[in-house]
Structure 1
Amino acid sequence: MENFVVSARKYRPSDFKSVVGQSHITTTLKNAIKNEHLAQAFLFCGPRGVGKTTCARILAKTINCENRQDNGEACNECSSCTAFNSNSSFNVHELDAASNNTVDDIRNLVDQVRYVPQKGKYKVYIIDEVHMLSTQAFNAFLKTLEEPPKHAIFILATTEKHKIIPTILSRCQIFDFNRIQIQDISQHLEYISKEEGVDYETEALRLIATKADGALRDALSIYDLIVTFSAGKKVTYQETINNLHVLDYDYYFKVTEALLEESISKALLIFDEILKKGFDGHNFLVGLSEHLRELMVCKDPDTAVLLQVSETAKSRYVEQSAKSPYSFLLSALSICNQADLSYKASKNQRLHVELVLMKLAKLPHAISLAAVASGEAKKKA
């Protein structure tokens, strides 16, 4: 039986062009390699799962490639690239600062730096989670980081840049990695599904991408979970929301429809159904606020691009947005926001949400009364 390899490892990028959603980083690094403008120390910072360590490894492989391509990419065929791809390269040293964070660990590293590479041009030292180093270890590292031997390059990676002392920051070329866009993650999941022969629903992949919150590694972990659940056959939207315990957006459309009809009973019955399915009232409030926000951005074609949903869902949002007046959406968002802030302080949280729904259901009537009163006041004036 063949050992299973998780998607995050199996589809880990091996060159700059396959890195997802970080073109501003990969373009700069490729240009630095082509023009031989390599800094002696790099600091890769950003949230988890966005490609910091991956880019560090690709950079380490590329600068030692014996037959580098014209576009700055490694050939993946020479002896150096082959050794790197098989994790047997002597020119790349990875250190986990979380478990090697003392002065003695850094002194051992500094002693290694003096030795020139037996083969290749550079020895690359990748230090992951560098913010975990103690202050004394940082200070012991300063001199070497500022004036390393010509053959040594340091690549530091961290999720918490603010914990790194300024004297270290000033000695590094800093690269800030972005959270990966939902569209980019979704397209990458589509590519993997095709490679693995897994059928998929676009809605499901987009939901996984949204749930990952900008971290591709998290998205791939969730994807593996859903594929395993479906026995590798098909990733469906329904199975995905069941596994991730996410409330189907269809409920928000139903609730909003009931509110626009001023039907308190319908809104309360839908909310009761949601609670019976095991969902939390606070999550419902947050989701309703997000739904109202999506309806708001659909109002203007210029802001419609902010709507990151599938084309099927987009048509539903546009349709319901046309039925929802600006005044209703703005007032409803304000009420939901206040309810969100005060939810945890409430003793009866179910009643707290139900009161919100009652207020929202009577909003259209209150707005029309306010408009009539305003018109009468103008006539008298």
Structure 2
Amino acid sequence: MSTSQHLALARKWRPQTFNEVVGQQHTLKALENALNNNQLHHAYLFTGTRGVGKTTIARNFAKSLNCEQGISSTACGTCSNCEEVAANRFVDLIEVDAASKTKVEDTRDLLEKVHYAPSKGRYKIYLIDEVHMLSGHSFNALLKTLEEPPEHVKFLLATTDPQKLPATILSRCLQFHLTPLSSNAISEHLSTILQAESHTFEKEALTLLADSAKGSLRDSLSLLEQALAYGNGHISVDHVQAMLGLIDPSALNDIIDALIHQDANALLASSEALASTGADFEQALADLLERFHTIAMEHAVPGKHSCNKITQWTQSLSAEQTQLYYQITLLGRRDCALAPTARMGFEMTLLRLLS
């Protein structure tokens, strides 16, 4: 009996052209101009946090370099070279995970073949991921090739930690820093995917997923898959909050209202309510910090937020009180891990806010 293999969303929706890449327009524009004008460097370095498109952009760049229709920013995607790059089986695209190939012997074995002409493509391309993991001797071996590279070789290096790269390596690469994606860009992309996959969803739930991904598109797709499994194909706010252990916004509103009214009973009742839902108390403090930050911004720039609740709090709390609440909560979050329990640390922070 044959069964179809499930393909993870991050793989299924991996961009196959520059136009499909989400964000990173500054990097894409520079690469497109280089390809269209045939002004190519021998080594490129892509930096940025995880899941922002470093290897995806590198692979599409490799595809454009070796497309049978010629070098351009719009690879055809249908020739054998393009199809093989997309399928991760193009013989002249050598991908290396430096985290598992740290020894100098590994690097030397890799670079021994660098002077051989490409087997099929226009260029032999070395894509080295997490390049900062190479040893010092490995960097020295790589440096010799970067100093005098053969014309038929291109190096595409990717790293989440460029500070660990030797200056001699950095100086020989064109560097592109990929920035974390905005929550709005991630949310819109998730919406596009869900519509294409015929799944129903609540827009606010996608915002929660996007915020939790912290700028990483790949992480957002992993969270989306979890949410689809949790909600049996439907993405709702309640399901996402439960899955991520997020704090109910109304509970945070009750806490701030209790602070304004100096109501200790209501404060401790809010803590009890959070405990009954299995809430993460450190996350609750982090969410309170966001609330106080929003109130402070509204004090500084009135009308910045249209939320009635924010306006109400701004009228009830002075700018000085808001700043003090922020600092107390910040210290409480820092010290929460030192308390006997997270709940105890949370409640002591609430009492300090009340005093």
User: Residue by residue, what CA displacement relative to the aligned partner does 1:239-285 show, whole Å, maximum 9, x if unpaired?
Assistant: 01111111122211121122222222111111121123222433322
Mapping 1:348-359, distance limit 5 Å: 350=343, 352-359=345-352
CA distance in 1, matches of 2:200, 2:284: 30
> How far does residue 192 in structure 1 lie from its aligned partner after superposition?
0.6
Once the two structures are TM-superposed, the CA of residue 104 in structure 1 deviates from its matched residue by 2.0
- Pairwise CA distance, 1:140: 1.3
What amino acid maps onto 2:175 in structure 1? I
Q: Which secondary structure does the structure 2 equivalent of 1:37 belong to?
A: coil
Contact 2:295 2:310 in 1 (8 A): yes
- Asked which structure has the greater CA Rg, the reply is 1
| C-alpha distance in structure 1 between counterparts of 2:33 and 2:105, whole Å | 36
Per-residue CA distance 1:57-102 (angstroms, 9 max, x = gap): 00000111233597x2212123321232233322211111122222
For residue 14 of structure 2, the aligned residue among 2, 12, 15 is 12
Match status 1:341 vs 2:340: no
Distance 1:235 1:280, change over 3 A: closer
Q: Work out the CA distance in 1 between the residues paired with 2:309 and 2:345.
A: 29
Match for 1:360: what amino acid? L
- Which 10-residue stretch deviates more, 192-201 or 248-257? 248-257
Equivalent position of 1:175 in the other structure? 176
State the percentage of identical aligned residues.
Answer: 35
Q: Are the structure 2 counterparts of residues 150 and 188 from structure 1 closer, same or farther at C-alpha, using a change threshold of 3 Å?
A: same
| 8 Å CA contact 1:44, 1:156 repeated in 2 | yes
Q: 2:36–2:71: 8 Å Cα contact kept in structure 1?
A: no
Mapping 1:205-244, distance limit 5 Å: 205-232=206-233, 234-244=234-244
TM-score after normalising by structure 2: 0.92
Asked if residue 195 in structure 1 is aligned to residue 188 in structure 2, the reply is: no
Could you say what secondary structure the match of 1:180 adopts? Answer: coil
Please tell me the residue identity of whatever aligns with 2:293: R
Q: Cα offset for 1:236?
A: 0.3
Q: Which residue of 2 aligns with 1:35?
A: 37
Find the aligned partners of 1:43 and 1:54 in 2 and give their Cα distance: 13
1:59 to 58, 61, 74: 61
Contact 1:68 1:75 survives alignment (8 Å): no
Q: Give how far 1:149 is off.
A: 0.7
Higher mean C-alpha deviation, range 4-13 or range 176-185? 176-185
Aligned amino acid, residue 127 of structure 2: I
1:83-94 alignment, distance < 5 Å = 83-94=84-95
Report the AA paired with residue 247 of structure 1. I
| Residue of structure 2 equivalent to 1:251 | 251
Give the structure 1 partner of residue 25 of structure 2. Answer: 23
**Aligned-pair RMSD on alpha carbons?**
2.3
Q: State the distance in 2 between where 1:287 and 1:180 align.
A: 21
Q: Mapping of 1:300-339 within 5 angstroms?
A: 304=304, 314=307, 316-318=309-311, 320-339=313-332
Shift, 1:348, TM fit:
7.1
1:220 Cα deviation (Å)?
0.5
Q: Work out the CA distance in 2 between the residues paired with 1:352 and 1:291.
A: 19
Assess if the C-alpha contact under 8 Å between 2:18 and 2:74 holds in 1.
yes
CA distance in 1, matches of 2:173, 2:351: 56
In structure 2, relative to structure 1, the CA distance for the partners of 1:279 and 1:91 (3 Å cut) is: same
Distance in 2 separating the partners of 1:248 and 1:299: 25
How far apart in 1 are the matches of 2:328 and 2:162? 37
* Total equivalences in the alignment: 353
Query: After the TM superposition, which residues 359-378 of structure 1 pair with which residues of structure 2 at under 5 Å, given as runs?
Result: 359-361=352-354
How far apart are the structure 2 equivalents of 1:86 and 1:57? 11
Q: 1:93 to 1:355 in 2, by over 3 A?
A: closer
Matches of 1:336 and 1:18, distance apart in 2: 42
Deviation at 1:163, TM superposition (A): 1.7
Residue 120 of structure 1 corresponds to 121
Point out where structure 2 has 5 or more consecutive residues left out of the alignment.
Answer: none
Contact 2:298–2:314 at 8 Å: present in 1 too?
yes
Instruction: Tell me the secondary structure at the aligned position of residue 95 of structure 1.
Output: strand
Q: Deviations over 1:3-41 (max 9, x none)?
A: 111110000011112111211111111111112221101
Structure 2 Cα separation of the partners of residues 230 and 351 of structure 1: 33
Q: Does 1:3 align with 2:5?
A: yes
> Is the contact between residue 299 and residue 318 of structure 1 (CA under 8 Å) also seen in structure 2?
no
Judging changes above 3 Å, is the alpha-carbon distance between structure 1 residues 36 and 255 closer, same or farther for their aligned structure 2 residues?
A: same
Q: Secondary structure at the match of 1:47?
A: coil
Question: Where does the alignment leave 5 or more consecutive residues of structure 1 unmatched?
Answer: 363-381
What is the CA–CA distance in structure 1 between the aligned matches of 2:60 and 2:302, rounded to whole Å? 38
- Which TM-score applies when normalising by structure 1? 0.86
